[in-house]
């Protein structure tokens, strides 16, 4: 397995797979440069942790047993996370560091409240990124981690009853 991972085979498609998804995945991999693959590897390494994606304990404690409140806050988080993912992607493409750091600052309390432990340190690194002394590659990796984890959390929250 390590040999395949070293060669860049670090993704998957679940069965049964859609033929169009399969071809999109191949197209995506074929379009990656070596630098992109390195960034992808770093993101995948950071995400693979044994921690739960999120913990609604703090939210449930605040709600004092009001499940409607928890449900409403989860739906609000999903909506905000989707919006912030788009902002991160657009800002990164436009090299808009100011918007990136402001977005990280804005979403940080929601990440903490939702108990997304894997992003607590990463979101603070992005929030405090200094364009003069910070590594652009590290910023790209950290934003990739944030986006991937938020998407995983959104998918998992959408599966809640």
What DSSP state is assigned to residue 18?
P
Phi and psi for 9 in degrees, rounded to 5? -85, 75
pLDDT tens digit sequence for 29-87: 555 545 555 555 555 665 666 677 888 888 889 889 889 999 999 999 999 999 999 99
CB atoms within 10 A of CB 60: 15
Burial 88-114 (b: 16+ CB within 10 A, else e): beebbeeeebeebbebbeebbebbebb
DSSP 3-state assignment of 1? coil
Structure tokens at 53: 């994606």
Chain segment 100-127, per-residue pLDDT in tens: 999 999 999 999 999 998 899 999 999 9
Predicted pLDDT of residue 112: 93
pTM of the shown model: 0.70
Answer with the residue of higher pLDDT: 110 or 20: 110
pLDDT of residue 138: 85
2-14 average pLDDT score: 61
- Record the tokens describing residue 90, joined without a space: 């657009």
Give the burial class of 54: count Cβ atoms within 10 A of its Cβ; 0-12 exposed, 13-18 middle, 19 or more buried.
buried
| Residue 45: alpha-carbon gap to chain centroid | 13
């Amino acid at each position: 397995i390590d040999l395949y991972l070293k060669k860049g085979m670090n993704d998957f498609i679940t069965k049964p797979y859609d033929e169009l998804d399969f071809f999109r995945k191949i197209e995506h991999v074929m379009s990656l440069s070596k630098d992109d693959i390195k960034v992808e590897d770093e993101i995948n390494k950071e995400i693979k942790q044994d921690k739960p994606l999120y913990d609604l304990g703090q939210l449930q404690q605040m709600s004092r047993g009001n499940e409607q409140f928890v449900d409403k806050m989860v739906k609000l988080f999903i909506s905000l996370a989707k919006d912030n993912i788009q902002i991160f992607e657009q800002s990164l493409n436009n090299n808009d560091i100011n918007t990136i750091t402001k977005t990280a600052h804005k979403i940080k309390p929601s990440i903490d409240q939702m108990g997304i432990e894997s992003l607590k340190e990463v979101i603070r690194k992005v929030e405090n990124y200094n364009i003069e002394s910070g590594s652009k590659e590290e910023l790209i990796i950290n934003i990739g981690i944030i986006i991937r984890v938020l998407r995983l959390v959104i998918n998992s929250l959408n599966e809640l009853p």
